[in-house]
Amino acid sequence: MTARTQSSITVSADHDNWVLFNASPDILQQIRSFPALQPARALRDTAIRAIFLIDAQIDHTTGLYMLREHRQPLELWCHALVREDLMSGNPLLRVLEHYCGVNWRDVSLGDSGFNMEGVPGLHFTALPLISNAPPYSPHRDRPQPGDNVGVTITDTASGKRLFYAPGLGQMEPHVWTAMQAADCVLVDGTLWSDDEMIALGASQKTSRAMGHLPQSGPGGMLEWLDQLPASTRKVLIHINNTNPILDEDSPQREALTRRGIEVAHDGMEIEL
């Protein structure tokens, strides 16, 4: 099986100015493996212009500690509920104030979307997802709109769209509309089956209870991806180490290949 680091992506329209989506615990290894993020124009230089957090989960935020020696405050985009969790239940942002600090930008939910200063050529539209909040959140097991978001990233020159949602527990009409409009979907591939963690003795919770739509079974992710246009590129990301699709020779992986569904891997590049 191919080894993988934890789920983070970067996006850019001009290959010079990048947005980091989620800061995983493996962020330093990921940055080292992608030279475009280290242009070396000055001491501790970076091409990362902004960081977008889709939720407050540990696997999407711990890497911020690794970026604490940034020369300026981190430009951090997230919903107000995510910021609240990172100021209280897991006070990561308070710790960063003793280092580089943070310029927080509130992520609005809605059709109009927003642009990011210093990131030309890209437009972002965030939408609420039904998933789950972290264990340290007051919204655990009763998530509120904004605890988890998906985002459509549009190249303003070409009009091409990427839909990104590594944590998606339930398909809602507005989410499905965004997926159908995208040229590429990069979506939740955490678990193959709903009872995967229970069957392995790793947890007492189902995939859906954890906030992740399983790939298989009625109403699973595969059924939804099968309904997308043939021209849509379909990629699973945020894959748990229990998921059999990580084994390139497994029947589950073969089922994805038949459907034209890809499995994200380190160093994967997607051009739209």
Q: What does the mean pLDDT of the chain come to?
A: 94
**Where residue 74 sits, what CATH number does that domain have?**
3.60.15.10
Say whether both 5 and 91 belong to one domain. Answer: yes
Predicted local distance difference test score (pLDDT) of residue 252:
97
pLDDT value at 237 more than 80:
yes
The one-character DSSP state at 242 is T
Choose the final residue of a domain: 129, 159, 189: 159
Contacts for 222-231: CB closer than 8 Å, 24+ residues apart = 222/255, 222/256, 222/259, 222/261, 224/171, 224/176, 224/179, 225/185, 225/187, 225/259, 225/261, 226/259, 228/179, 228/180, 228/185, 229/180, 230/260, 231/183
pTM above 0.85, yes or no: yes
- Rounded Cα–Cα distance for residues 186 and 184 (Å): 7
Residues 65, 24: contact at Cβ < 8 Å? no
Residue 24 pLDDT: 94
Judge if 131 and 255 occupy the same domain: no
Task: Identify whether residues 250 and 155 lie together within a single domain.
Answer: no
How do residues 118-134 score in pLDDT, each as one tens digit?
Answer: 999 999 999 999 999 99
For residue 136, the one-letter residue type is Y
Structural domain span for residue 223: 164-263
What does the pLDDT look like over 133-160, one tens digit per residue? Answer: 999 999 999 989 999 999 999 999 999 9
pLDDT in tens, 192-235: 999 999 999 989 999 999 999 999 999 999 999 999 999 999 99
pLDDT for 43: 65
- pLDDT at residue 191 is higher than 90: yes
